[in-house]
């Protein structure tokens, strides 16, 4: 592949501009073995040739003193012409003054007279051609074609270079993102979107022009800036926003900014911008703040998260995950009776102590590890149901969580049935909670899976109903048995009339559809009374009990 670029691959063209025939001939003989050589006796003839030839010259060897048009004049003509300015020119001179003047006019190198040995001349020509060809490739790829800003890979490489040369200086990594950019594209078309990006590139370049800066269009609507450390960016951000507000055409454009200020860690360039980006993501959709700094806290959070992710396998293996049971009371009778439970996971970390599920569940949901955790909980819960049956002689149905991602596991049904069989418990004793939001993603698949499970006798509970974009359609489409109202409803049921009526409505719809209604998060007597009056069947919450370890739950069971 590479020999195409080497000298033998393509016969490049060299133009020798020199009025002395002897000098021309000597250079020509040296170069014509490797190159196609063209000759001109003065600057004017050379200029005409350059303009007429279809093919470009890879190099021009230029004498200074010539009749008609001298070397300086030709050099000037070429360097101010967009089309020819990148052709390298080696000036044939040994005069010090001529060298200085030529360099200022853009000469690439010199060959002195009397000439060096042929090998030296050859090597000089080769080197300059290679250098200019490489530069040309860099020029054509280093910038983003739309905005003229640096492309990502070059941006990182240039930063590495800057840091190698100027180590120890304080610099900042900044990520800028356009709020709702996809909307601009949707509403006004891609051309308008492109115009906005171009405008932003221009504005950023202007606003950072007074300090040492390099700017890159990272991807679609994300820009990265690397610049000398600044104590305060608020003035610059105001200028940017003011300029954005002046733009005509589309709606108001808002940007959000994440700054990783003078990161002295050993982190790679990419990581430093990742950190700036994580700061930037923190103010996504926040209309009161559009700038955030990456801090040690964020770093600690990231490291902490990473540690939790890495430790899940071991923790399952070591039994660090324990399952707690929150009592669920049936309130339809005269007095509340403990009849069932919800299994909730707890992480007892040997070093960090109790870790809240709020910390690790979202993390594991994001990367799919939640599947392992769910399976573990199902397995524990099934064993527990069996144990209580044996010890106390009571069947206590336990609800377990089925995450969105579990739905896609082709072995889900088989695994659950296996647990029932192993522990000799009934399908309706292991109740499956599916969160409302699972319905919105791939409803067909979900319905198929749930219908199958239902057919095997499992009870299906709709969890967190009312927390997201609830759909009444979902209530009829899904073969559910139980509706679990989101905690938010219970919280407000004593606070305002509207919420109270909404809860009443939900309960009556559920009743109408023959569903059991469970209220979560009940903390006060008043809430309990209202819910009972409305016909709610089951409640759980701190009013009765927090989630308990199995032994304590057992004690409660024994009391009846």
Partner 1 sequence: MITIDDLNSFGANTEEGLARCMGKEALYLKLIPKAINDSNFEKLVESVEKGDMTASFEAAHALKGVMGNLSLTPLFDKSSEITELLRKKTDADYKSLTRELLEMRDKLKSLCD
Element (H, E) at 241: helix 234-246
Nearest distance in Å: CB 26, partner 1: 6
**Identity of the residue, 26 or 337, whose beta carbon is nearer to partner 1 in the bound complex:** 26
CA distance 234 to 259: 12
| Residue 110 within binding range of partner 1, rule CB under 8 A | no
- Residue 151 gets which letter from DSSP? P
Nearer to partner 1, 21 or 123 (CB): 21
Determine if 168 is a binding residue for partner 1 (CB under 8 A): no
Burial degree of 208 (CB within 10 A; 0-12, 13-18, 19+): buried
Residues 111-140 that bind partner 1 (CB under 8 A): 113-115, 117-118
3-state secondary structure of 445: helix
Task: Pick the stretch among 26-34, 281-289, 310-318, 336-344 that binds partner 1 (CB under 8 A).
Answer: 26-34
Shortest Å, Cβ 44 to partner 1: 17
Size of the site for partner 1 (CB under 8 A): 15
With CB under 8 A as the contact rule, which of the stretches 23-31, 218-226, 414-422, 550-558 interacts with partner 1?
23-31
> Binding to partner 1 by residue 337, rule CB under 8 A?
no
Nearer to partner 1, 30 or 377 (CB): 30
The answer to whether 544 touches 525, Cβ cutoff 8 Å, is: no
Peptide bond into 114 cis (omega under 30): yes
Q: Are 395 and 459 in contact (CB under 8 A)?
A: no
Which residue lies nearer to partner 1 by CB, 23 or 471? 23
The per-residue DSSP string of 491-552 comes to: HHTTT-HHHHHHHHHHHHHHHHTT-EEEE----SHHHHHHHHHHT--EE-STTT---B-HHH
CB of residue 125 to partner 1, shortest distance in Å: 15
Task: Give the shortest CB-212-to-partner 1 separation in angstroms.
Answer: 44
What is the Cα–Cα distance from 119 to 214, expressed in whole angstroms?
A: 41
Q: Which of 26, 151, 361, 427 touches partner 1 by CB under 8 A?
A: 26
3-state secondary structure 478-495: CCCCEEEECHHHHHHCCC
Q: Which residues are paired to 227 by β-bridges? A: 172, 213
Minimum Å gap between C-beta 24 and partner 1 is: 10
* Alpha carbon distances (Å) from 366 to 360, 370, 406: 10, 8, 13
Chosen residue from 23, 213, 271, 305 binding partner 1 by CB under 8 A: 23
* Complex with partner 1: residue 29 or 415, whichever CB lies closer: 29
Least distance from partner 1 to the Cβ atom of residue 33, Å: 9
> Contact between 285 and partner 1 (CB under 8 A)?
no
Please name which of 292, 162, 136 lies closest in space to residue 216, comparing C-alpha atoms.
162
User: What Å distances lie between residue 383 and 194, 367, 427, 521, CA to CA?
Assistant: 59, 27, 13, 26
Taking a C-beta distance cutoff of 8 angstroms, is the pair 64, 92 a contact?
yes
Closer residue to partner 1 (CB): 102 or 147 = 102
Q: Which CB atom, from 29 or from 469, has the smaller least distance to partner 1?
A: 29
What is the rounded CA–CA span in Å between residue 286 and residue 414? 45
State which of residues 49, 65, 309, 316 lies at the interface with partner 1 (CB under 8 A): 65
504 binds partner 1 (CB under 8 A): no
Distance CA 43, CA 58 (A): 17
Name the one range near partner 1 by CB under 8 A: 7-15, 110-118, 322-330, 473-481: 110-118
> What is the spatial distance between Cα 309 and Cα 205, in angstroms, rounded to a whole number?
40
Q: Which of 21, 123, 211, 270 binds partner 1 (CB under 8 A)?
A: 21
- The helix-helix angle for 370-392 and 550-559 (nearest 10°) equals 40
* Contact flag: residue 68 with partner 1 (CB under 8 A): no
User: What one-character-per-residue DSSP string does 265-318 give?
Assistant: SS--HHHHHHHHHHHHHHTTT-SS--EEE--HHHHHHHHHHHHHHHHHHHHHHH
Integer Cα distance of 59 and 126 in angstroms: 9
Minimum CB separation of residue 67 from partner 1 in Å reads 9
Taking the complex as a whole, the smallest distance from the CB of residue 118 to partner 1 amounts, in Å, to 5
Going from the C-alpha of 196 to that of each of 172, 180, 184, the distances in angstroms are: 25, 12, 9
CB-nearer residue toward partner 1: 65 or 244: 65
Q: Which is nearer to partner 1, 1 or 22 (CB)?
A: 22
> Of the ranges 20-28, 329-337, 370-378, 462-470, which one interacts with partner 1 (CB under 8 A)?
20-28
Nearer to partner 1, 107 or 430 (CB): 107
- Smallest distance, Å, CB 23 to partner 1? 6
Question: Which member of 1, 22, 165, 354 binds partner 1 (CB under 8 A)?
Answer: 22
Contact 456, 427 (CB under 8 A): yes
In the complex with partner 1, the residue whose CB is nearer, 14 or 280, is 14
505 touching partner 1, by CB under 8 A: no
Beta-carbon contacts of residue 120 (< 8 Å; ≥ 6 apart): none
Contact flag: residue 20 with partner 1 (CB under 8 A)? yes
Nearer to partner 1, 124 or 256 (CB): 124
User: Under a CB-based contact definition with an 8 Å cutoff, are residues 40 and 46 in contact?
Assistant: yes
Q: Pick one of 13, 19, 154, 337: the residue that binds partner 1 (CB under 8 A).
A: 19
**122 or 267: CB nearest partner 1:** 122
Q: Could you list the residues that contact partner 1 (CB under 8 A)?
A: 19-23, 25-26, 29-30, 65, 113-115, 117-118
């Amino acid at each position: 592949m590479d020999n195409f670029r080497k000298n033998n691959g393509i016969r490049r063209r060299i133009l020798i501009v020199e009025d002395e025939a002897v000098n021309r001939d000597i250079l020509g003989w040296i170069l014509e073995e490797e190159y196609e050589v063209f000759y001109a006796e003065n600057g004017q003839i050379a200029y005409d040739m350059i303009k007429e030839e279809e093919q470009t010259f890879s190099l021009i060897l230029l004498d200074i003193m010539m009749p008609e048009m001298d070397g300086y004049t030709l050099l000037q003509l070429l360097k101010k012409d967009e089309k020819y300015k990148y052709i390298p020119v080696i000036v044939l001179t040994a005069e010090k003054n001529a060298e200085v003047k030529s360099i200022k006019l853009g000469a690439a190198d010199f060959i002195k007279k009397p000439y060096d040995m042929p090998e030296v001349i050859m090597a000089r020509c080769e080197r300059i051609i290679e250098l200019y060809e490489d530069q040309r490739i860099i020029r054509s790829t280093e910038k983003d074609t739309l905005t003229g800003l640096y492309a990502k890979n070059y941006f990182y490489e240039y930063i590495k270079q800057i840091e190698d040369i100027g180590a120890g200086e304080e610099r900042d990594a900044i990520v800028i993102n356009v709020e709702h950019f996809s909307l601009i594209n949707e509403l006004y078309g891609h051309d308008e979107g492109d115009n906005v990006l171009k405008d932003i590139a221009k504005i950023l370049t202007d606003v950072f022009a007074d300090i040492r800066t390099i700017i890159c269009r990272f991807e679609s609507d994300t820009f990265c800036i690397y610049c000398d450390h600044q104590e305060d960016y608020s003035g610059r951000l105001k200028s940017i926003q003011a300029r954005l507000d002046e733009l005509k055409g589309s709606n108001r454009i808002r940007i959000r900014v994440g700054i990783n200020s003078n990161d002295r860690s050993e982190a790679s360039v990419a990581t430093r911008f990742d950190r700036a980006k994580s700061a930037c993501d923190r103010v996504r959709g926040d209309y009161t703040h559009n700038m955030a700094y990456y801090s040690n806290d964020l770093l600690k959070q990231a490291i902490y998260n990473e540690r939790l992710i890495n430790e899940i396998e071991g923790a399952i293996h070591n039994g660090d995950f324990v399952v707690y049971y929150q009592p669920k009371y049936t309130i339809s009778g005269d007095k509340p009776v403990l009849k069932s439970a919800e299994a909730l996971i707890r992480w007892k970390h040997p070093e960090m102590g109790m870790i809240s599920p709020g910390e690790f569940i979202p993390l594991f949901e994001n990367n799919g590890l939640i599947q392992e955790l769910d399976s573990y909980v199902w397995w524990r819960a099934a064993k527990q149901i069996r144990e209580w049956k044996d010890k106390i002689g009571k069947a206590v149905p336990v609800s377990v969580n089925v995450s969105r991602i579990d739905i896609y596991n082709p072995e889900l049904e088989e695994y659950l049935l296996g647990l029932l069989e192993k522990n000799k418990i009934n399908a309706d004793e292991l109740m499956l909670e599916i969160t409302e939001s699972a319905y919105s993603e791939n409803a067909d698949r979900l319905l198929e899976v749930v219908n199958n499970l239902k057919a095997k006798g499992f009870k299906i509970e709709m969890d967190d109903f009312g927390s997201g974009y609830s759909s009444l359609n979902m209530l009829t489409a899904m073969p559910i048995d139980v509706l679990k109202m989101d905690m938010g409803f219970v919280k407000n049921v004593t606070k305002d009339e509207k919420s109270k009526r909404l809860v009443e409505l939900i309960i009556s719809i559920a009743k109408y559809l023959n569903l059991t209604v469970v209220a979560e998060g009940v903390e006060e007597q008043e809430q309990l009374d209202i819910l009972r009056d409305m016909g709610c069947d089951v409640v759980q919450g701190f009013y009765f009990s927090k989630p308990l370890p199995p032994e304590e739950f057992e004690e409660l069971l024994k009391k009846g």
